[in-house]
Structure 1
Amino acid sequence: MASHSPADPRAGAAIIVGCDFSSSPTPRKPIVLALGALEGPRVALHGLRRFDTLAAFGQWLALPGDWVGGFDLPFGLPRALVAELGWPLAWPECMRHYRSLARAQIREAFAAFCAARPAGAKFAHRATDGPAGSSPSMKWVNPPVAYMLHAGVPLLLDAGVHLPGLHDGDARRVALEAYPGLLARELIGRRSYKSDDPRRRTPERLAARADLLAGLERGATRLGLRLAAAPPLRDALLQDASGDGLDAALCLVQAGWALRRRRLGDARYGLPADMDPLEGWIVTA
């Protein structure tokens, strides 16, 4: 069930959304949404919502509203992988085929692809992985982003949202691929700031979250946006040792940058004009 918040994208002007996604959400590890608004150079965090089932999250996505969202899951597969497997090279047909597969079939196909490639180049990468520093979207472990794509993209499609450069949908609900690690590295390098393992929730990770949050509040990234949160919300981000709320907030800032680009006349929300229409692109990369 979703937790409730006074902030909701169906309550007036267009808002922004940041999503920390889980392909197998539970009450202990839910999907977390950060809801806010772009106010000039400021991203105002209004609330957090949590969903412990994919169905509940899908129902939220399908509600009418006005929002631009950054979602921490891959929206496409590497072209080299898709071509080698003989899957459709057009994004809609490729995603239709991909969603028809079971996770075991995905793992088997991807493992066979990797086994046939030389050491050091087992995985295929998308063009966006280099500038974003992201994991290949075909990875099925540590982190299982292939399963995140398999679980998340069908929800977006079934909800009828608009995916710029990939799929035309409801232009009032816009979904963009985001990646919190991209901004986090700008602010604190490769310091670890989160863990799902209670034994690894150390003072050092708490200090890293504090530095990360302070950097967001100063607007210390190249995006030039400052995060603003009321004290209870700020404390919730800081004390969440899993980092899920903070990751959602990082995606919120990326969504804010995309909305600002749209307000400046960029119909692609900051995505590059030469983006591969099969692979997709991580916004702000």
Structure 2
Amino acid sequence: MSDVVARLRAAGCVFAEDEARLLAGAARSPADLDAMVRRRVEGEPLEVIVGWAEFHGLRIAVDAGVFVPRRRTAFLVQQAVGLARPGSVVVDLCCGTGALGAGVAAAVEGVELHASDIEPAAVRCARRNLAAFGGRVHHGDLYDPLPATLRGRVDLLVANAPYVPSGEIATMPPEARDHEPRVALDGGPDGVDVHRRIAAGAAPWLAAGGHLLIETGADQAPRTAAAMTTHGLDPRIVSSADLHCTVVIGTNGPVLPTCPGVVERSATD
């Protein structure tokens, strides 16, 4: 095992010992382990190599060519769970693996769960992850593939849509830049192009008092919030210092109190 740790550390893996244990646990033979370590040294995401990611207490299947759920995004799930109720209608847009929808469905009884993604690989992966929750995964662009029967009924729209400015993609770690689909990373010139499209289409799908939750960058948050305001939602910005995550919550009706321990700031700050 020490030689595996040394190879990973030499390749720049900060948590080489932890990664070595995960790779060894997933390998079926010494030759398999060697091949897996080689893939990791070449920059392939650990989660793709072992086939899963830990997210919000769940083991989420991760396939090649699909956006890997980040630990920080559990903060969005926490916010969504705090707003949900048993039987809520939940839609996970730009769903990737379906981790957001799975996290909410695992914590809230009896949700009606839908998800959508434009990438066929993501749709296949999400269907595996959401099958246990009765989730329906639709292939298409944002709202386009959703059943018309959801209009005006959605309690929670959740989205970890791309928010990296186009000019900053080249500075991302190679495991993201080279192995995740660009459509899942590139948020346009200022990082908010997809957020604007999501905000523009949200109101007809949301129930009265429903919420749109979008993970965003601290710098992008005011623009994400402005897009929600433009399209009739009442936004607030919440953040977690522990998870280094910022979420904008747009409400189709009265704004609810902030959850304890959450930093909130004005959408115009």
Q: If the TM-score is normalised by the length of the shorter chain, which range does it land in?
A: under 0.3
Tell me: higher relative CO, structure 1 or 2? Use CA pairs within 8 A at least 6 residues apart: 1
Q: Give the strand-richer structure, 1 or 2.
A: 2
Could you tell me the TM-score, scaled by structure 1's length?
Answer: 0.27
TM-score of the two chains, using structure 2 as the length reference: 0.28
* Bigger radius of gyration among the two: 2
